[in-house]
């Protein structure tokens, strides 16, 4: 690999001087200046590219975070709404944590969300390979590093961790910002070769120019300006073993894959000026950048495991639908300017525009997410409900097979009552078990026990049974209405809550629930396919007799 000619640079630091005084006072690295906008939404940067190419870079570690899924979704929406292409790239250089299994799980999670790509490790393409580990073997990064070295934009640095720590400590003692100005930036070829011959470890650093203004017209944030002196000095781009660091790897990959638009979270904003410097040093076209708002927890801290589920896989296991997840993620930092909240993927593609992206961090509200998902559950067709809800009931051991009239009716009944597929199991179990003792202990039952209406309703139901009024229940939807009317008249014409709550408590052990005619129609279909505990109507009425007649409840 070429060491490159000795570049000229205005600095007094020599190899013998590990640390130097700084002129600027100690402070955190400055945040970039943002030109004020008239509104919270940025203007769209005009483009001249005939073909948009966005990228989705996934780290092959552990699981697909909802933040990563949202980034992939926005890149997919942008590319497809513009008639462009999406390229999927796998960052698998973290050898300790990177596994084939985690890569497969992440790609499967993206596909489950309905996100597809035109090029990637599993579908191929003209710009492969698409795994960084394979690109290292192909020498892709080495060629770009050689170019930087040959033109004086990069150099070998032999600073040890201890020397860097001392430089950092001295900067703090002098109340100065820690800026890496390596003494090896201007070392001679002889000095460098001597260290190599001694077997001294080294890294490759990018030479950051002094006092350089860097400007980007961000699709979301608008014009953002940095000064190169605020970037922390010369930064590492490649380790001695040839492993590229993040910024160098991203620039090399995006350029070689023809990426025209880089859309990512705002946490990557400070990487942008470093990447722009490398694009220019390599003589490459700088892509258009767009930095999307962060996703925060309700307490406005970084969304993490302590706030609950954070991965796509976890929400999939909890019974969220892909359409519900995509709908909710799309609204974390974006809206179409209307009051619409429920979207199909087709509607999102039609409405998506980058200029409607917000600059402000989005709050991940699990209650709102569940509400959105509930709308998508209720949009399921009868066939989809049978497949989705029926499979969940089977997986949880409530039924043997996803077939038969019971499963069909149960799926349709539950569809209108649940927000997630996980809710279906709890909801159906509560309906079928009939926990009379538990109902009596509930606060909702207390006033009806005290005023005697629960006892009276139970006796009237038993009378209706003796008269044969329940004989056609489950077959004739009018039966339950007739019984309710009889009880209302017997109780002096009570209506609504005073009538229906004690009636539901007596027949379902719950104050709320589905239409009782539909419920008993489902109950009549219980057969050998049902594995969970199921209390029939006759058994429920017998339990009422034992509780309210044989052992009357005192008012």
pLDDT tens-digit map of 25-71: 232 334 444 443 333 333 333 344 457 899 998 887 678 999 999 99
Q: At what angle do helices 140-150 and 246-256 cross, to 10 degrees?
A: 110
pLDDT, average across residues 432-443: 93
Rounded to a whole number of angstroms, the distance between the first and last alpha carbons of the chain is 93
- DSSP class of 532: S
- For residue 302, what are the β-bridge partners? 296
Residue in the block written with tokens 């000229």: 8
CA dihedral sign, ordered 62, 63, 67, 71: positive
Please give the pLDDT value at position 96.
Answer: 72
Q: What is the mean pLDDT of residues 177-187?
A: 93
| CA-based nearest residue to 257, from 280, 278, 284 | 284
Report strand pairing: 288-292 vs 154-157. Answer: unpaired
The answer on pLDDT for 157 being more than 60 is yes
Lowest model confidence (mean pLDDT) among 69-73, 100-104, 311-315 = 100-104
pLDDT at residue 552, rounded to an integer: 53
Two structure tokens written together for 159: 């600073």
Q: Are 4 and 149 in contact (CB under 8 A)?
A: yes
Of all helices (H) and strands (E), which one includes residue 161? helix 161-173
- At 125, the pLDDT band (50, 70, 90 cuts) reads very high
Give the whole-angstrom CA distance, residue 150 versus residue 5.
6
Q: Is 56 helix (H, G, I), strand (E, B) or coil?
A: strand
The more confident residue out of 98 and 291 is 291
**Res 310: pLDDT:** 83
Q: Nearest 5°: CA angle at 240, between 238 and 242?
A: 60
Task: Specify the pLDDT at position 158.
Answer: 97
Q: Assess whether 147 carries a catalytic annotation.
A: no
pLDDT tens digits along 235-267: 999 999 999 999 999 999 999 999 999 999 999
Cis peptide upstream of residue 345 (ω within 30 degrees of 0): no
Relative to beta strand 362-363, strand 203-206 is unpaired
Cα angle 168, 173, 178 (rounded to 5 degrees) comes to 30
Q: Are the C-beta atoms of residues 43 and 36 closer than 8 Å to each other?
A: no
Residue 121 has what pLDDT?
Answer: 95
- The number of C-alpha atoms within 13 Å of 465 and in the hemisphere containing its C-beta is 15
8 A C-beta contact, residue 509 and residue 434: yes
Residue 56 has φ and ψ, to the nearest 5°, of -125, 105
Place of tokens 């409840």: 553
Whole-number pLDDT of residue 50: 57
Q: How confident is the model at residue 550 (pLDDT cuts 50, 70, 90)?
A: low
Helices first, then strands: H and E counts in the chain: 22, 12
What are the angstrom distances between the C-alpha of 122 and each of 84, 89, 130? 19, 10, 9
170 token code pair: 């001295």
Please compute the mean of the pLDDT values over residues 106-110 and round it to a whole number. 95
Of the residues 80, 100, 137, 305, only one is catalytic, namely 305
Instruction: In whole angstroms, give the CA distance from residue 465 to residue 459.
Output: 10
* Cα dihedral 480, 487, 514, 502 in deg (nearest 10): -150
Beta bridge partners of 311: 65
For residues 357 and 75, the answer to whether their CB atoms sit within 8 Å is: no
Closest alpha carbon to 214 in 231, 235, 228: 228
The answer to whether residues 218 and 359 touch, using CB atoms and an 8 Å cutoff, is no
Name the residue with tokens 């483009």.
47
Asked whether the whole model's pTM tops 0.95, one would answer no
- pLDDT value at position 93? 80
Does 410 score more than 50 pLDDT? yes
Percentage, residues of the chain above pLDDT 70: 89
Cα(21)–Cα(26) distance, rounded to whole angstroms? 11
H helical segments located in 434-536: 436-441, 446-450, 453-466, 478-490, 496-508, 516-523
- Which one-letter DSSP state was computed for residue 406? H
Q: What is the pLDDT of residue 6?
A: 35
Reported as type and span, the H/E element at residue 86 is strand 85-91
Instruction: Please report which confidence band the pLDDT of residue 483 belongs to, taking 50, 70 and 90 as the band edges.
Output: very high
Mean pLDDT, the chain, whole residue set: 88
Of 46-50, 263-267, 300-304, 435-439, the poorest mean pLDDT is in 46-50
| 143-162 mean pLDDT | 97
């Amino acid at each position: 690999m070429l060491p490159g000619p000795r570049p000229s640079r205005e600095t007094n630091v020599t190899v013998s001087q590990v640390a130097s005084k700084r002129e600027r006072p100690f402070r955190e690295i400055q945040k970039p200046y943002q030109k004020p906008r008239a509104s919270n939404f940025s203007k769209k940067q005009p483009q001249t590219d005939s073909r948009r190419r966005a990228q989705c870079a996934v780290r092959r570690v552990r699981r697909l975070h909802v933040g990563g899924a949202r980034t992939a979704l926005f890149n997919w929406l942008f590319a497809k709404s513009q008639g462009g292409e999406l390229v999927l790239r796998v960052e698998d250089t973290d050898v300790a944590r990177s596994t084939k299994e985690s890569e497969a799980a992440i790609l499967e999670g993206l596909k489950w969300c309905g996100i597809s790509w035109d090029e990637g490790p599993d579908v191929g393409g003209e710009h492969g390979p698409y795994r960084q580990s394979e690109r290292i073997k192909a020498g892709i990064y080495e060629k770009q590093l050689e170019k930087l070295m040959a033109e004086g934009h990069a150099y070998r640095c032999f600073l040890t961790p201890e020397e860097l720590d001392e430089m950092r400590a001295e900067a703090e003692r002098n109340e100065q910002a820690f800026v890496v100005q390596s003494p090896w930036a201007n070392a001679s070829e002889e000095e460098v070769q001597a260290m190599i011959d001694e077997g001294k470890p080294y890294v490759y650093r990018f030479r950051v120019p002094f006092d350089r203004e860097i400007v980007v017209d961000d699709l979301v944030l608008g014009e953002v300006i940095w000064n190169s002196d605020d970037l922390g000095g010369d930064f590492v781009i490649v380790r001695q073993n040839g492993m590229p660091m993040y910024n160098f790897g991203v620039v090399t990959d995006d350029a070689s894959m023809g990426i025209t638009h880089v859309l990512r979270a705002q946490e990557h904003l400070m990487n942008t000026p470093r990447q722009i410097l490398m694009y220019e040093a390599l003589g490459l076209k700088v892509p258009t950048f767009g930095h999307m708002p962060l996703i925060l927890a309700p307490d406005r801290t970084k969304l993490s495991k302590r706030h609950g589920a954070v991965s796509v896989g976890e929400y999939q296991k909890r019974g969220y639908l892909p359409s519900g997840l995509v709908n909710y993620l799309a609204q974390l930092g974006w809206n179409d300017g209307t009051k619409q909240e429920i979207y199909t993927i087709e509607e999102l593609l039609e409405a998506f525009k980058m200029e409607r992206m917000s600059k402000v961090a989005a709050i991940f509200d699990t209650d709102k997410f569940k509400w959105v998902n509930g709308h998508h559950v209720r949009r399921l067709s009868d066939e989809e409900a049978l497949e989705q809800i029926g499979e969940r009931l089977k997986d949880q051991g409530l039924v043997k097979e996803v077939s038969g009239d019971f499963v069909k009716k149960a799926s349709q009944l539950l569809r209108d009552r649940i927000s997630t597929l996980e809710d279906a199991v709890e909801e159906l179990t509560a309906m079928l078990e009939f926990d009379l003792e538990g109902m009596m202990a509930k606060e909702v039952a207390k006033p009806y026990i005290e005023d005697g209406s629960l006892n009276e309703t139970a006796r009237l139901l038993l009378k209706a049974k003796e008269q044969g009024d329940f004989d056609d229940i489950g077959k004739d939807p009018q039966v339950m209405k007739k019984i309710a009317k009889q009880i209302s008249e017997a109780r002096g014409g009570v209506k609504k809550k005073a009538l229906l709550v004690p009636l539901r408590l007596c027949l379902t052990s719950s104050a709320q629930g589905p239409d009782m005619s539909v419920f008993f129609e489902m109950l009549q279909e219980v057969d050998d396919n049902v594995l969970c505990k199921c209390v029939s109507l006759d058994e429920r009425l017998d339990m009422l007799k034992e509780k309210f007649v044989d052992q009357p409840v005192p008012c």
